[in-house]
Structure 1
Amino acid sequence: MKIGIIGAGSVGLLFAAKLSASFPVTLYTKTKTQAKLLNDNGILLDGTKVKSASFHASSETIYEEDIQIVTVKQYQLEKIVGNLKRTTSRTVIFLQNGMSHISCMNELAHHRLYVGVVEHGALKINDYHVCHTGKGLTRLSAYHHNDDKNLKPLLVSKLAVFPFIYEEDWYEMLSKKLLVNICINPLTALFKVKNGGLLQNDYLYKLFETVFDEAFLALKLNNREFYWRHVHTICEKTSANTSSMLEDILHHRRTEVDAIVGYMLEKAKREGMPVPALRFLYFAIKGLEEEKGELT
């Protein structure tokens, strides 16, 4: 079984490093320069060159492998989805934050489609070096076509340090991750605090809970206490971390506010639900992006 990984950011590099130990992997990069660096140097994982079964980097958009794992950010999906429309049926796994990528997936009905949630931490050092900053697992769920022989080698593989598990309900799985992202990312980016700052400051904590309640109601989930405890626990466990959205703001990069908060605003609008805190956060983060000028 051959695996293609689309996107060579921190997550793409980490997945390529780990999966190429057991499977032939092609890592699709945005630039020829990065592809050449990867082919010349291999992937460095935590400073050590990865010993791979078969690894190749390419800036082409062939996407001919049995499984394609899409790791780019949501706002980079349009061109990739266009390319995937022209390929024959295969297994495609989307690993984006938020839930706005679901609408793009509806254009790819001839593929066997899956969504995933990555619970690993990864930090890109340069174009061929990545650090595995937090060990976790990857959750996968079928968007449709759940009887898929291509997925079984991943789920039963002996990658003890990089496990995959299957979830039955894709909506619940993504909603759970979205609640964490929407409660932590925008507030930490706006107030420029680490994750734990939301728990330590009484006023930020009130905002933290207000954002949770608006998002929870818009997602139409049950069992508020279960989801609130989950979000609170993740914030505690990552209290020393700088959120990805704050990192993006600090480094003048485009954030994923559209995929995370923008999606929720659209959903709340369809449901006829007022979400004033989320509306404020969305425009506040977009304002910070514009204030930073040209984004990378």
Structure 2
Amino acid sequence: MKIGIIGAGSIGLLFGYYLQSYHHVTIYTNSVEQAEAIRAAKLSCVKNGQPDSVPIEALPFSSWNGEDELTVIAVKAYQLPAVLEQIKLKSSNSGSFLFLQNGMGHLRWLDELSAENIYAGSVEHGAYRTGQASVNHTGTGVTKVAVFKGSDFLLRKMIAPLSGEFPFVLEDNVEKMLISKLIVNAVINPLTAVLNVRNGQLIENPYYYRLLQKMFSEIKTILDLHDADSHYQNVLRICNKTAFNYSSMLTDIKNGRMTEIDSILGYIVAEAERKKIEAPLVDAFFQCIKGKEYGGEGI
């Protein structure tokens, strides 16, 4: 199967590494330099302390022409509008796309995309990029995928040959799937980014744990969760499973980059305003992250 991956951050490189064993994969990078680095040095992935390198095709995004059977969009949510503009110009209202962004804010842009098949995914793996052509796979999880529009045929075709070391789960309800990941991200990412701690410290430190509980309580009310306890247990499970990891939002802040706060907590803030629900803690952490973005500060 011919698969393109737009975005060569941690998730793009991680997907490239695992998918290339069974499919013909091309990674489309933001820069010519990164594409050249991947072709020259191969794509390296470290898992359980063991490095492995594989050859993989890499080209700058400007070379993407929409001819892949399936294109995986692995850029950050705030980068999506610019990517979609190029896709609209080159895909001739056809093609099939899998979007891997955090949060819910990006769904409004998917509604505007004309394509045969549109899929959304929720990635639960831990990973961080260690170089232009290298990624560290720090925590094995699953990738949940669901149909936003069209048929699930290409999803099944992509998933079928993959082994248990990089598992996928095909979900029936795309909104339910994304809400579940949204809750995890909305609790863990802002708290760790502001407090400057690893994920596990949110449940190990009793004072941070109390913040986590209060944050979840506000989000539960805003989203009117009917199965709140299962979502809460899922947050705790992710904190435990990724205890030694730094969240992507904290990593972005440390490196002076924009975060996905608008697509994650910004969505919840907007829902609270729409429903006229007071959410002081959610709003405070949203403003804290926006302030850090505004200052371009590292921690």
Fold shared per TM-score above 0.5: yes
Structure 1 residues 249 and 75: CA distance shift in structure 2, 3 A: same
Match of 2:103 among 89, 94, 98: 98
Q: Give the SS at the match of 1:259.
A: coil
User: 1:208 deviation in Å?
Assistant: 0.9
Does structure 1 residue 73 correspond to structure 2 residue 55? no
Q: Is the 8 A contact 2:36 2:58 kept in 1?
A: no
Match of 2:267 in 1: 263
Q: Give the SS at the match of 1:116.
A: strand
Match of 2:238 in 1: 234
Distance 1:226 1:175 in 2: 12
Distance 1:152 1:139 in 2: 12
Match of 1:203 among 200, 203, 207: 207
RMSD of equivalent CA atoms: 1.8
Does structure 1 residue 58 correspond to structure 2 residue 55? no
1:3-28 C-alpha deviation (Å, 9 max, x unpaired): 01000111101111111111111111
Q: Is the 8 A contact 2:126 2:245 kept in 1?
A: no
The one-letter code of the counterpart of 1:29 is: T
User: 1:279 deviation in Å?
Assistant: 0.7
Match of 1:159 among 159, 163, 168: 163
Structure 1 residue ranges without an equivalent (≥5): none
Distance 2:162 2:80 in 1: 31
Q: Is the 8 A contact 1:26 1:58 kept in 2?
A: no
Distance 1:205 1:148 in 2: 40
Match of 1:20 in 2: 20
User: 1:248 deviation in Å?
Assistant: 1.8
Distance 1:201 1:265 in 2: 26
Say how many residue pairs are matched: 291
Match of 2:178 in 1: 174
User: 1:214 deviation in Å?
Assistant: 1.6
User: 1:181 deviation in Å?
Assistant: 0.9
Match of 2:39 in 1: 39
Distance 1:170 1:154 in 2: 18
Q: Which moved more, 1:100-109 or 1:266-275?
A: 266-275
TM-score by length of 2: 0.91
Structure 2 residue ranges without an equivalent (≥5): none
TM-score by length of 1: 0.92
Match of 1:49 among 46, 53, 72: 53
User: 1:51 deviation in Å?
Assistant: 5.1
User: 1:284 deviation in Å?
Assistant: 1.0
Structure 1 residues 219 and 81: CA distance shift in structure 2, 3 A: same
1:258-280 C-alpha deviation (Å, 9 max, x unpaired): 11111111122222222211111
